[in-house]
Structure 1
Amino acid sequence: MKRNLYKTLKMIVFAIATMATVSSCTKDEVKPQLEDGKSVIIKDLPGDVGNTVGSGRPFAPFYFKLSTGAKVDTAKKKTTEWDIAFAKEYNSYVSINNGTDDGSFGNGGPGQGAMVAVNQAYDKVTTAPSDEDFAKNAITAAGWDSGNGNGWYFYDLNTHLAIPVKNRTYVLRTAEGRYAKLELVSMYKGAPAVVTDLNWPAPYFTFRYYVQLDGSRNLSTKD
């Protein structure tokens, strides 16, 4: 009996420790500390709010300029006035502005955009890759990660909720050729640490980024 009691207590202690660890990891993964004194933080940027996948109406894409931190009119689609586009389901497909990429919303324009997925925490990404690395590993967009290792969120087929991928950062070359890094945090209003309600207001994007304006590849955001 004593042996069984010991085993039971051991299992309870292990379960409590595991729950605490999972809770901590979830909060760290979904809602990181964003302020670093250098990065631009965008909170609750609205997409095609009110639309749903079942409506039969495509989600209207929108365009965003990193240097100004603002949306750009769709009439400027074929210009370098924007750097990333938010499109497709719940505007969660984040794409570059590249005039020679058939998959880019800027195809046919002058944009020089490129993007590389880096499996490293945002703060740890301090240098943009070489042009050769961009050419070899570049992706057109990041959305649902169905196993490709490039997406910015996992989609839970049971809950139908999006869960941001931990420690995935995107290094960008902007439409005008500057280097930047980007962390996509949430597509839900308020960027909650845990989303439990399928009807939580979306899409409202929270993300942070840093653009190196001096033309160098230095992306350090920590002193």
Structure 2
Amino acid sequence: MFHKTHNFYLILLLALSLFTACEEDSDEPAPDVTLEVQTATDVYEAEGYAFYDLESGQQLSKSDSVGTRWDLAFDGTSIITNSGISGPGEGGAQILYGVFEKIDAAPSSGYATDNEESLAIPSGGGNGWYNYTGTTGNPAHAILPIPGKIILLKTVEGNYAKLEIISYYEGNPDTTTEAFASLETRPESGHFTFQYVVQPNGSVDF
């Protein structure tokens, strides 16, 4: 009788210890998720806008561009957001100066939408994300991203993202070479390469 009772209490004590350990583990905070930097290469459409979904990391066909699947669309040097006059989504954008890797949080307000007077991401040389070098620049007649111009976005899903344009030319060429300087050998324009990070859980933290 003594041995059976003793064994019973040992089993009960072991079970309680395991239960307590599980409870303590469940109270620990979930580990932070490391957000990966995504790179989109040569986003381009020969005729009209090239539509892009940041959440899935995919360029969409024109048939998929209707509605709220897309976040951004590119045509020439213009970038539109799925907001205002450009789309039915509730997206938006603002541009900040900074180092892409060091921007660890998105503003919670201040996002512009596309309207008849201006786009959320301004167009025109020196107004938004790029400079146009004109006839006197080196190289001449080039569209070059402005260093430190970071685009902060609200996606159609209501999440936040940061984005930096890397190149406007096919293949992300070296813009300091003689081949790029010559308009005869310069790669085709209108091909966007950019890096970005999306925070998928609605937080402003990257």
Are 1:114 and 1:173, in contact at CA under 8 Å, matched by a contact in 2?
Answer: yes
User: Alpha carbons of 1:135 and 1:207: their partners in 2 closer, same or farther (altered >3 Å)?
Assistant: closer
2:65 maps to 1:77: yes
Deviations 1:148-194, CA, capped at 9 Å, x for gaps: 3xx11101111211111011100000012110000011111221232
Distance 1:94 1:193 in 2: 23
2:50 maps to 1:62: yes
State the partner residue of 2:121. 141
Distance 1:92 1:193 in 2: 19
State the partner residue of 1:218. 205
Are 1:114 and 1:139, in contact at CA under 8 Å, matched by a contact in 2?
Answer: no
Give the residue type in structure 2 aligned to 1:167.
Answer: G
Distance 2:64 2:155 in 1: 15
Give the residue type in structure 2 aligned to 1:40.
Answer: Q
State the partner residue of 1:122. 100
Are 1:161 and 1:198, in contact at CA under 8 Å, matched by a contact in 2?
Answer: no
Give the residue type in structure 2 aligned to 1:218.
Answer: D
2:195 maps to 1:208: yes
Give the residue type in structure 2 aligned to 1:206.
Answer: T
Distance 1:197 1:135 in 2: 37
Where structure 2 has 5 or more consecutive residues not aligned to the other structure, the ranges are: 1-33
Are 1:116 and 1:139, in contact at CA under 8 Å, matched by a contact in 2?
Answer: no
**Which residue, out of 90, 96, 115, partners 2:81?**
96
Q: Normalization by structure 1: what TM-score?
A: 0.64
State the partner residue of 2:129. 152
User: Alpha carbons of 1:145 and 1:171: their partners in 2 closer, same or farther (altered >3 Å)?
Assistant: same
Distance 1:40 1:144 in 2: 26
State the partner residue of 1:181. 162
User: Alpha carbons of 1:189 and 1:209: their partners in 2 closer, same or farther (altered >3 Å)?
Assistant: same
Q: CA deviation at 1:205?
A: 1.6
Give the residue type in structure 1 aligned to 2:42.
Answer: D
Identity %: 30
State the partner residue of 1:52. none
Hey, which of these two has a bigger chunk of helix by percent?
1
State the partner residue of 2:4. none
Distance 1:78 1:38 in 2: 28
Q: CA deviation at 1:46?
A: 3.1
Are 2:169 and 2:192, in contact at CA under 8 Å, matched by a contact in 1?
Answer: yes
Q: CA deviation at 1:75?
A: 2.8
State the partner residue of 1:32. none
Are 1:44 and 1:204, in contact at CA under 8 Å, matched by a contact in 2?
Answer: yes
Where structure 1 has 5 or more consecutive residues not aligned to the other structure, the ranges are: 1-35, 49-58
